[in-house]
C-alpha cells in the first residue's frame, strides 16, 4: 500500500519531538497543493517497479511534439501509464517521479502541463513525491524531457 498523505514539516515535527514523519501540518498540506507533490511516500514492503526513463516517443518509435514541451509531457505521461498498465499497475501505485528537463526556459510550460496532468491523475491531491532536474540536454536534442518512475504493487 502506498501512502502519499504522510507529508510533514520537518521543523514542526522536530519542535514537537516527533521525527517519525507521521504528522501532517497545515504548512505541508498547503505546499502539497501548490507544488503537486508530497514530501514523503510510505510504502509497506511489496513488489517494486522501476520504470526506465520515458521520453516522447509514440508506439511506432516516432518522436512526438518536436520543439513542443507541452505535447511531449502528455506523451511521456501516456507512455508511463502504458508501462504501468503492462505490469498490472496504475498511477495510484507510483511512489516517485524524477523528471529531467532540458532547459530552464521550459520550466513554466512544463509545470503548467504537468500540473494539469497530475491533477487529472490524482484528483484527491494525493500526489507522489517528485523531483525536477534541469539538464543541458538528453541523448537526442529533440527530446525535451525524460521521466523515470518508481511504483509499488
What tens digit of pLDDT does each residue of 66-76 get? Answer: 999 999 999 99
Read off the pLDDT of each residue in 50-62 and give the average, rounded to a whole number.
97
Rounded Cα gap, residues 45 and 60, in angstroms: 36
What are the boundaries of each domain within the chain? 2-42, 45-152
**120, three cell numbers:** 487529472
Reduced to 3 states, what is the DSSP secondary structure of residue 126?
coil
Identify the band that residue 56 occupies on the pLDDT scale cut at 50, 70 and 90. very high
pLDDT confidence bin for 48, thresholds 50/70/90: very high
Q: Which of 128, 144, 148 is closest to 136 using CA atoms?
A: 144
Query: 57 near 75, Cβ under 8 Å?
Result: yes
Residue 3 DSSP symbol: E
Q: What per-residue confidence (pLDDT) applies to 10?
A: 35
DSSP state, residue 129: P
Q: Is the pLDDT of residue 36 over 60?
A: yes
Which grid coordinates are listed for 107? 520550466
Q: What percent of the chain is predicted at pLDDT more than 90?
A: 70
Residues in a beta bridge with 50: 150
Whole-structure pTM value: 0.77
Cell numbers describing residue 49: 517497479
Could you read off the pLDDT of 88-136 as tens digits, one per residue?
Answer: 999 999 999 999 999 999 999 999 999 999 999 999 999 999 999 999 9
Compute the distance between CA of residue 73 and CA of residue 75 in angstroms, rounded to an integer. 5
- The highest-level CATH class for domain 45-152 is alpha beta
Amino acid at each position: 500500500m502506498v501512502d502519499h498523505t504522510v507529508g510533514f514539516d520537518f521543523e514542526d515535527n522536530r519542535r514537537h519531538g516527533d521525527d517519525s514523519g507521521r504528522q501532517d501540518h497545515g504548512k505541508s498540506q498547503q505546499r502539497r497543493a501548490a507544488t503537486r507533490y508530497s514530501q514523503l511516500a510510505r510504502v509497506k514492503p511489496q513488489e517494486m517497479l522501476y520504470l526506465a526513463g520515458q521520453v516522447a516517443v509514440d508506439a511506432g518509435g516516432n518522436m512526438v511534439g518536436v520543439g513542443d514541451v507541452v505535447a511531449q509531457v502528455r506523451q511521456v505521461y501516456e507512455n508511463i501509464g502504458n508501462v504501468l498498465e503492462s505490469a498490472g499497475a496504475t498511477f495510484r501505485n507510483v511512489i516517485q517521479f524524477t523528471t529531467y528537463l532540458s532547459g530552464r526556459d521550459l520550466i513554466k510550460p512544463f509545470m503548467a502541463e504537468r500540473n494539469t496532468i497530475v491533477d487529472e491523475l490524482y484528483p484527491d491531491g494525493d500526489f507522489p513525491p517528485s523531483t525536477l532536474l534541469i539538464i543541458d540536454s538528453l541523448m537526442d536534442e529533440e527530446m525535451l524531457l525524460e521521466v523515470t518512475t518508481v511504483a509499488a504493487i
